[in-house]
Amino acid sequence: AAAAQAPAVPLSAEQAKAVLAEVIKAFGAPENAQRMEEARDNACNDMGKMLQFLLPVATQIQQDVIKAYGFSSDGEGVLKFARLIKSYESQDPEIASMSGKLKAMFLPPMTLPPHGAGTGGVAAS
């Protein structure tokens, strides 16, 4: 692996939004939805198994889309893409919403309240 990797192509907020929409659409494609479903079944809601089965499939689906935009087609490319999206979340509510939708596709819903939430929240049943 070359140490002098080309930096990821900087995308504007609009471009990032377009790529994000494409990634979300890719997750909805029948063959990908099936792959995710199988991975979910194998994981049985076990967080460790989610990482083992679901994450590689989710990563692969994202790689297939983002490599066309200059991101490397490996885990590092997906991380760079995720960081880019994160950097736009605070500036663009639409990107934040789409990012949340994307995460919900491959991250199990969190059942624990955030740290420091206290007991003031509504209890989820």
Tell me which residue of 107, 113, 120, 2 sits closest to 55, measured CA to CA.
107
pLDDT tens per residue, range 102-120: 988 877 665 555 554 444 4
Tell me which residue of 71, 84, 63, 74 sits closest to 16, measured CA to CA.
84
Q: Comparing 17 with 125, which gets the higher pLDDT? A: 17
In this model, does residue 1 exceed pLDDT 70? no
Return phi, psi of residue 46, to 5°.
-90, 120
Q: Comparing 51 with 58, which gets the higher pLDDT? A: 58
Q: Is residue 82 classed exposed, middle or buried when 0-12, 13-18 and 19+ CB atoms within 10 A define those classes?
A: middle
What percentage of the chain carries pLDDT values higher than 70? 78
Q: What is the chain's mean pLDDT, rounded?
A: 83
State both tokens at 117.
Answer: 């939430």
Q: Where are the domains of the chain?
A: 13-106
Over residues 41-69, the mean pLDDT reads 91
Give the per-residue pLDDT at 110: 59
Give the per-residue pLDDT at 108: 64
State both tokens at 14.
Answer: 């609009």
User: In this structure, how many other beta carbons lie within 10 angstroms of the beta carbon of residue 23?
Assistant: 23
Over residues 25-34, the mean pLDDT reads 96
DSSP of 6-49: PPPPP--HHHHHHHHHHHHHHHHSHHHHHHHHHHHHHHTT-HHH
Q: Comparing 88 with 8, which gets the higher pLDDT? A: 88
In this model, does residue 125 exceed pLDDT 90? no
CA distance 34 to 102: 16
In this model, does residue 18 exceed pLDDT 70? yes
Q: Is the pTM of this model over 0.85?
A: no
